[in-house]
Structure 1
Amino acid sequence: MYWVQANRVYTEKVQMNDGHWIPGIAFGTYVYNLTERTGVYQSVITAVEGGCRHIDTAYLYLTEDLVGKAVENVIDRGIVKREDLFITTKLSFRVLTRAQVIPSIKESLKRLKLDYVDLVLIHTPCDVLGLKPGFPKKSECSRNHTLEVWKGLEDAKRLCLTRSIGVSNFNSTDMASILADSDTVPAVNQIETNPTFAHQELVAYCQSKNIVVTGYAPFGFLVSRPFNDLALPPTVDDPFLVSQAEKYDVTIDRCIIPIAASLKPEHIKSNMRTAGFALREKAILRINKYDRNVKLPAKSAYYETFQSKDVRLLIDGNILPIPAFGTAVPVNQLKDLRQAVLWAIESGWRTIDTDVNEDIIAEAVNEAIRCGLVTREELFIIARLPLEVAKRKRVVPALESTLKRLQMDYVDLFIVNSPLNLSGKKKFNLLDLWTGMEDAKELGLTKSIGVGNFRKEDLISILPYCTTKPAVNEIEVNPTFTNIELVEYCQKQAIIVMAYAPLGFAVPRPEVTKRPPPSLTDPVLVKMAKKYDVTTAQVLLRYVIERGTVPITRSVNKNHIKQNRDILNFTLTDEEVDIINGYNKNWPVYPAEKRLNDYNIKMEHASRRNKKLY
């Protein structure tokens, strides 16, 4: 008999093979919809108040910070002590070497506000992001690479960063690769287990090795699942489950032992009551018969988090709402910018990319908050380092001045806007400048740091030596300047590309009399627009998204502002993307000399405004 053995029902605590005890019921903190992420904070508090002592999180879930705040809350209120809780987290998918393990765990501990965790898991034996050449993807596995990461976990355990170490989503072959060459047997294997995917042989294998199995998605298809419309038995009205629920005076859901996630207080509390009864052997065997070897689709666990419909996950775990509203308008439109930003926020824009116009942005954002349109926490504000800043020691003061103009305590993303010494300062050192950006992040003045207009060689000059990788590279991407090689390089480095001038020459550009195609009346684009019932401008903006980049688009026209955001409800085909790629002429709208000239003009106007304010 597999899946759950009647004599091993996890009622309260189970001793793992390393001597530590793990609570038999865990509260999961993964949410499918990232817009519901903030609800995790109160849910964890409710779970602990309801008796749960095991909280399961992960870098991938983007909930470590919320779990940390919730744990701090319940400890401060005297509900539990730290030693009463069992906190599980998992390594980032991007951790592929032994040297990456300890820094990754330390970052998790910082987000969790803890000195140690009780259990750290390798989230998957495979390189699902395809970040490391030669490393396996999806169903393949690699003994050497997995063992290397495992040794990193052993290092972390010796340093007391975690009490126990384990794995997740490992099959028996993956497990054997560790058991053969390691001194430490995984304490836990976290896998999907539910009636329609009982995983009986793997559970039996783990139990034979004295490895505790924790099961996610325990409800299987009893509850609705994104990306899958399968309707497999059992259902909530299944006669046998109903009879078992009535027998034990519980809900049907709790006939299965869960690592259960929920944002609803009533479900959280009921899920914690599974320790009050145990199923008989016959009942377990009967539930095993529902097994169809059908698991939840991997897409729901990966795609929704890393590339959701309206957000992007940055390398540091922060979330970037898309698309982005640009504010680098010509000086003759500055008088309209405040109202444009208000229209943008009202239309649903949440990422605001500032220029040398922070005073105007501050007025608009403060007004939007006063009117109840948005809270500061819901906004993602981007600021950039002035071009005249060329040394590390000047970065933090420059950001503090920016924050003063923005009337904010922090920005969400701070960018080095150019790798070039455009101001002509002496002793310019790009790595030294980037270290100043890391200082600003460490001080909490910005949540993320990034770069702008960096070429591949510029990124290579800092990536091997920096402590914090750039989360973003803002570069020009559009049909006539596709920037394909640079975009692909950034994506391989897990750097999100934000694309300015996404409409290219399809819209009028000052001082350009002869514009290359496509125009907004291009027959090919018109055909695509009719197909999706959108405008040709929306097709071009969607093209940028299909490339895996984030468009930054500006306008002071209310209708255009609304239309430019309404690009998330249709998708172009691969063939259509290739057609638009064919317009490439390697012709940028903003070559470096034009960017510098525009910057100088805007700085002059900004200086005049700021002299009046300060």
Structure 2
Amino acid sequence: MAKYQTMIGGYKIPSVGLGTGTFEKGKEEVVENAVNAALELGYRHIDTAFMYDTEEIIGRVLKRWLSSGKIKREDLFITTKLPNQGVFADKVELFLKRSLELLQLDYVDLYLIHTPIAMEFIDINTPGKPVVADHVAVWKAMEQQVDAGRAKTIGLSNFNIKQIEKVIQSSRIKPASLQIELTVCLQQPELVKFCHDNDIVVVSYSSLGSPGIGKILAQKGFDMPDGPNILGDETLKKIGAKYGKSTAQVILRFFIQKNIVVIPKSSNPTRLEENFNLFDFSLSMDDVKEIENLDKGESGRLFRLSQFIPSLKEHLDYPYPY
């Protein structure tokens, strides 16, 4: 399988990247060390977002690497995302410019609308109450960022099929990518097929089940239990033993064989290396089928947005069935 996927317009995205969301509060050094270690190992795809509070840290690391000549800007693929309080046509440019300032870059390779739900703009760091978004107008503002050279490509995150269709129908520049939660428990085959049929590259977040997420979100004031122990699943352990690979490598390889980009997060150097080394083995069709059978549909979803704001379930732009 290819180490890159080709997006609409011919732009290439590495099949494996480093996720940088949901690090523990006050762990700036951990994030910095993880990005440094990942770049040393050969990662060139870094995924961040305004709401992760990791852009500034990543920017410092990238500045050092670029200034030293150890790496060229064109060798990197940097993704960041428009937050909820920026999902307004007149706020897109403001937030992308702020992200570029924090990242110390002239452009990002991919800019995503983080969720379809808009929240009132109080100030740049403060979302207000949820409101209905004008996705068509916001997308036009996203297209203008490509025209201005601030983003090479643009896309969506956490949108459903109906919402993506609306954007496609009104677009001049079609969405290049959709980033969604995908685990072996939540495989979303219909949404993935829709994207592939429309030449939209799918990027999986939380591929490994986000172990320890409950503790991290508790620090931010959210009461959310940890998800199932996907890495301890006996079926996956059995398949891993057959190939001499870790459970994490089996999961990530499974998605890559389905032409899905993965962005696992880790600060552990050994796991960072394991997560990156996915191209020296291939799962058999029988193993793929066995992993497909672990899908639980919507009941396997870890992140629902309404866990953070319960009233979102009734919101017009809520992207999930429940």
TM-score, structure 1 as length reference? 0.45
1:456 corresponds in structure 2 to 161
Say if 1:508 and 1:389 are closer, same or farther in 2 by CA, change over 3 A.
Answer: closer
One-letter amino acid matched to 1:414: Y
The structure showing larger relative contact order (alpha-carbon pairs under 8 Å, at least 6 residues apart) is 2
Select the residue among 43, 47, 50 that pairs with 1:353: 47
Shift of 1:331: 3.2
Which residue, out of 111, 114, 127, partners 1:414? 111
**Structure 1 residue 573 and structure 2 residue 322: aligned?**
no
Q: Counterpart of 2:11 in structure 1: which amino acid?
A: N
Which of residues 184, 189, 192 in structure 2 aligns to 1:487?
Answer: 192
- Partner residue of 1:317? 10
What root-mean-square deviation, in Å, do the aligned CA atoms of Structure 1 and Structure 2 show? 2.0
- CA separation of 1:553/1:514 partners in 2, compared to 1, >3 Å: closer, same or farther? closer
Is the counterpart of residue 402 in structure 1 residue 99 in structure 2? yes
The answer as to whether partners of 2:79 and 2:108 remain within 8 angstroms in 1 is yes
Distance 1:493-1:374 versus aligned 2 partners, 3 A rule:
same
What is residue 123 of structure 2 aligned with on the other side?
none
Give, in angstroms, the shift of residue 513 of structure 1. Answer: 5.6
Compared CA separation, residues 515 and 400, structure 1 to 2 (3 A) = closer
Out of 294, 301, 322, which is 1:588 matched to? 301
C-alpha change, 1:465 and 1:480, in structure 2 (3 Å) is: same
Pairing of 1:149-548 with structure 2 (within 5 A) = 309-332=2-25, 333-356=27-50, 357-423=54-120, 424=129, 428-504=133-209, 507-510=211-214, 515-516=227-228, 519-548=230-259
| Residue 559, structure 1, aligned to residue 260, structure 2 | no
**3-state SS in 2 of match to 1:504:** coil
Show the counterpart of 1:267. Answer: none
**Displacement of 1:396:** 1.6
CA contact (8 A) 1:472 1:495 kept: yes
Deviations, residues 299-349 of structure 1 (Å, cap 9, x unaligned)? xxxxxxxxx621010012111112011011333333310111010011111
User: CA shift at 1:426, angstroms?
Assistant: 5.1
What is the correspondence of 1:107-186 to structure 2 with a 5 Å cutoff?
A: none
Give yes or no for contact 1:345–1:373 (8 Å, CA) kept in 2: no
Q: Distance in 2 between matches of 1:483 and 1:392?
A: 30
Shift of 1:385: 0.9
Distance in structure 1 (CA, Å) of the matches to 2:57 and 2:212: 25
Give 1:428 shift.
2.5
| Aligned-pair CA distance for 1:457 | 0.8
Q: How far apart are the structure 2 equivalents of 1:399 and 1:419?
A: 17
Cα distance in 2 between the residues matched to 1:331 and 1:577: 33
Q: Which amino acid aligns with 1:477?
A: L
1:241-274 CA distances to partner (integer Å, 9 max, x unpaired)?
xxxxxxxxxxxxxxxxxxxxxxxxxxxxxxxxxx
Q: SS of 2:271's equivalent?
A: helix
CA distance in 2, matches of 1:403, 1:397: 10
SS in 1 for 2:255: helix
Bigger mean CA offset, 423-432 vs 570-579: 423-432
Among the aligned pairs, what percent are the same residue?
Answer: 29
Change (3 A) 1:489 1:568: same
**Per-residue deviation at 1:408?**
0.9
Provide structure 1 residue ranges, at least 5 long, that are not aligned to the other structure. Answer: 1-307, 598-614
C-alpha distance in structure 2 between counterparts of 1:528 and 1:429, whole Å: 46
Q: Match for residue 119 of structure 1? A: none
Does the 8 A contact of 2:209 with 2:227 survive in 1? no
Give aligned pairs, total: 288
CA distance in 1, matches of 2:208, 2:293: 15
Distance change >3 Å, CA 373–CA 454, structure 1 → 2:
same
Letter in 2 for 1:349: Y
How far apart in 1 are the matches of 2:184 and 2:119? Answer: 27
Are the aligned partners of 1:414 and 1:450 in contact in 2 as well (CA < 8 Å)?
yes
- Shift of the alpha carbon at 1:405? 1.1
Letter in 2 for 1:331: E
Aligned residue identity for 2:293: G
Please say if residues 83 and 115 of structure 2, whose CA atoms lie closer than 8 Å, have aligned partners that are also in contact. no
Shift of 1:371: 4.2
What is the CA distance between 1:461 and its match in structure 2?
Answer: 1.4
How far does the alpha carbon of each residue in 1:492-521 deviate from its partner, in whole angstroms, 9 at most, with x for none?
Answer: 11100000000126x34416667546x434
- 1:6-25 aligned at under 5 Å gives the runs none
CA contact (8 A) 1:422 1:596 kept: no
